Structure 1
Amino acid sequence: MKDLVVTENITLDGVIDAAGDWFGPMDATEDTADLVEAIDEHRRGADAFLTGRATFEAMREFWPAQTDDETGNTDYLNRVHKYVVSSTLEDPGWEPTTVLRGLDDVRSLKQGDGGDIVTTGSLTLVPALIAAGLVDEYRLFTYPIVLGRGQRLFGDADNVPRLRLTECRSFRSGVVLLRYRPEMP
């Protein structure tokens, strides 16, 4: 059985939407080599990438066009099997991609063998995954910034179990990775 891992870039006050330009996926203003290595480590453990339609379409427009990406994101996203949850998308236009029609399809995907299923962004899908009890791990790359507004990871989420910290790792940039797994009742 595969683990479904929510990986989010998040502010100290829990905001995960990127409005206000607080997060740039290719920001080269600081030394982020240790952070890039941690992300690469996580990519090596994943063989599926899950998103909602809006995040998928934004990524499809941005990542394939990147030619000087030193983070490895472009190569990873172009080769990993992508799954997009959408009731309306017909032609994903970015291979390899499979369209899933709902959370039952996500449950079925988790039944397979192999590496992790990773999801990121997806401001509508992630709360639905949390509410449905489908998340096996949270990897929160916590940025030292407070926005005071924006969509929060657990803002409207129902059915969030108690979480157990499994890793805390800091990076030179001030970002801290917090990994949590839900405790089983």
Structure 2
Amino acid sequence: MRTVTFGMNISLDGYCDHTIFNPSKEIHDYFTSKMDEVDLLFFGRVMYELMFPYWADVAKKQSGSEHENRFAQKLTAIDRVVVSRSLEHLEDGTRIIHSNPSQELLKLKQQPGKKISVDSVSLLPELIGAGLIDEFHLVIHPGIAGKGRRLLDDGSLQEKLNLKLVDTLTFKSSGCVALHYLKQ
């Protein structure tokens, strides 16, 4: 069975709004290296629309820094699934799922392949509740946002989820800390 991972940048106070971060080359390289283990991206619509077409444009035009270009090329080369009730068709070949994200992710998890990377804050409580997220890669940024989207809203989990810390990495230039947890 495939492993499902969840990765996210978050502030010290638990916010994960991508507009509040300024990722360093180390952060781009970190997430690029994580994609070496992945052959399927599982997005919610909002995160998909945030990430694409921006990174697809960077990959096509090579308009970012060396580190951003490498991240963009890796990201856009991986197969994608988007969960959305409103999207009907995407030109880039991304598959759309309209309902039952937990059931669909379970089917994908049972297929052969590399890891599946989930990138959706809105779907996270449902996927955790269904026992589908196996590992977490959280990059904590040294700032307090005070507003924005929280990683998890109060009361969004039915049960506490216990995790086991298996690795940490400190990024000296930015002061960020990457934490890798496995579900217990």
| Distance change >3 Å, CA 36–CA 3, structure 1 → 2 | same
In structure 2, the residue matched to 1:4 is 4
Letter in 2 for 1:64: A
**Cα contact 2:137–2:178 (8 A) shared by 1:** yes
**Cα contact 2:5–2:136 (8 A) shared by 1:** yes
Q: Is residue 178 from structure 1 mapped to residue 179 from structure 2 by the alignment? A: yes
Q: Is residue 56 from structure 1 mapped to residue 42 from structure 2 by the alignment? A: no
In structure 2, the residue matched to 1:88 is 86
SS at match of 2:16: coil
- Quote the offset at 1:88 in angstroms: 3.2
In structure 2, the residue matched to 1:130 is 128
Q: Which structure has the highest helix share of the two?
A: 2
- Quote the offset at 1:169 in angstroms: 0.6
RMSD (Å) for aligned C-alpha atoms? 1.8
| Distance change >3 Å, CA 77–CA 41, structure 1 → 2 | closer
Aligned partners of 1:180 and 1:128: how far apart in 2?
19
In structure 2, the residue matched to 1:104 is 103
Aligned partners of 2:167 and 2:118: how far apart in 1?
19
Runs of 4+ in 1 over 6 A off after TM superposition: none
**Cα contact 2:162–2:183 (8 A) shared by 1:** yes
Q: What's the TM-score once normalised by structure 2's chain length? A: 0.85
Give 5+ residue unaligned stretches, structure 1. none
- Quote the offset at 1:33 in angstroms: 4.0
In structure 1, the residue matched to 2:166 is 166
Aligned partners of 2:106 and 2:57: how far apart in 1?
32
Letter in 2 for 1:166: V
Q: What's the TM-score once normalised by structure 1's chain length? A: 0.84
Aligned partners of 1:136 and 1:160: how far apart in 2?
15
Aligned partners of 1:161 and 1:126: how far apart in 2?
12
For 1:16-27, what aligned pairs fall within 5 Å after superposition?
16-18=16-18, 21-24=19-22, 27=23
**Cα contact 1:130–1:160 (8 A) shared by 2:** no
Aligned partners of 1:167 and 1:174: how far apart in 2?
16
Q: Indicate the percent of aligned positions where both proteins have the same amino acid.
A: 30
| Distance change >3 Å, CA 131–CA 37, structure 1 → 2 | same
Structure 1, residues 125-147: CA drift from partner, whole Å, max 9, x if none? 22221232211011001100112
**Cα contact 1:60–1:94 (8 A) shared by 2:** no
Q: State which drifts further: 4-13 or 52-61.
A: 52-61
Structure 1, residues 22-78: CA drift from partner, whole Å, max 9, x if none? 214xx5xxxx44433322221100111110012112222311211223222221222
